[in-house]
Chain A
Amino acid sequence: MFPLPLETLFLFVVTTPFVGWLLTKKNRQNLCGAYTTFGLIISGIALYNLFSQVLDGNVVSDQQTSFAAGFRIDMLSVFMATIFIGLGLLVAVYSIKYMENDTGTMLYYTLLIAMISGMVGVAFAGDLFTLYVFWELMSISSYVLVAFRKAEWEPIEAGMKYLIMSAAGSATLFLGMSLLYGITGTLNFQSLASALATAGQNPWLSMSFLLILVGFGVKASIVPLHTWLPDAHSAAPTPISAMLSGVVIETGVYALARTFFSAFVSFQVQWSLVLAVLSIVTMTLGNITALLQKDIKRLLAYSSIAQVGYMLVGLAVGTQLGLTGTTLHILNHALMKGTAFLCAGAIIYRTGTRQLEDITGVGRKMPLTAIFFAISLFALTGMPPLNGFVSELTLFTSAVQASMAWLGLAIILNSILSAAYYLQIIRVLVKPAASSEKLEKLKETSFVMLIPICIMAILIILLGVYPDPVLDLARKAAQSLFTIGG
Chain B
Amino acid sequence: MIPLSYYLVFTFTLFIIGFYCLATKRNMIRLILGIELMVNAANFSFIVFSSYWREGFVDPLAHSFVIVSTALVGSVTAVALTIVVYAYRHYGTLDVRELKRLRG
Contacts and interface: CB of A to CB of B under 8 A. Distances in A.
Interface of A: 67-69, 129, 132-133, 136, 139-140, 143-144, 147, 150, 153-154, 156-161, 163-164, 167-168, 170-172, 174-175, 177-179, 181-182, 185, 226-231, 235
Contacts of A136: 72, 75-76
21 contacts: A136-B75, A136-B76, A147-B83, A150-B86, A158-B102, A160-B96, A161-B102, A164-B31, A170-B39, A171-B35, A171-B38, A171-B41, A171-B42, A174-B69, A178-B45, A179-B45, A181-B46, A181-B49, A182-B45, A182-B49, A227-B104
B28 A160 contact: yes
B79 A140 contact: yes
Nearest to A152: B90
Contacts of A230: 104
Contacts of B53: 182, 185
Nearest to B53: A185
B59 A185 contact: yes
Interface string B31-75: 100110011011101101100111000010110010011001001
A168 B33 CA distance: 11
B17 interface: no
A216 to B, nearest CB: 15
B22 to A, nearest CB: 6
Interface of B: 11, 15, 18-19, 22, 28, 31, 34-35, 38-39, 41-43, 45-46, 48-49, 52-54, 59, 61-62, 65, 68-69, 72, 75-76, 79-80, 83-84, 86-87, 90-91, 96, 99, 101-102, 104
Contacts of B45: 175, 178-179, 182
Given A133-B68, A143-B80, A235-B102, 19 more contacts: A69-B61, A140-B79, A147-B86, A153-B91, A156-B90, A157-B90, A159-B83, A160-B99, A164-B31, A168-B19, A168-B34, A170-B39, A171-B15, A174-B39, A175-B15, A177-B42, A178-B49, A181-B49, A185-B53
A104 B59 CA distance: 44
Contacts, number: 110
Given A174-B39, A182-B49, A157 B104 contact: no
A160 B84 contact: yes
Contacts of B65: 129
Most buried by B among A68, A167, A172, A181: A167
B67 to A, nearest CB: 12
A178 B50 CA distance: 10
A172 B38 contact: yes
A287 B46 CA distance: 40
B18 A171 contact: yes
A316 B52 CA distance: 35
B72 to A, nearest CB: 5
Contact of B83 (A68, A129, A160): A160
A258 to B, nearest CB: 18
B83 A178 contact: no
B42 A144 contact: no
Contacts of B19: 168
A236 B102 CA distance: 13
Contact of B72 (A133, A172, A231): A133
B39 A228 contact: no
Nearest to B91: A153
Nearest to B46: A178
A231 B99 CA distance: 12
A157 B93 CA distance: 13
Contact of B79 (A144, A179, A226): A144
B73 to A, nearest CB: 8
Contacts of A163: 76, 79-80, 83
Nearest to B77: A167
Contacts of B48: 182
A167 B35 contact: yes
A171 B40 CA distance: 8
Given A144-B79, A163-B79, A168 B38 contact: yes
A159 B96 CA distance: 13
Given A144-B79, A172-B38, A175-B45, A161 B18 contact: no
Contacts of A164: 22, 31, 35, 80
B101 A140 contact: no
B42 A67 contact: no
A41 to B, nearest CB: 29
B79 A181 contact: no
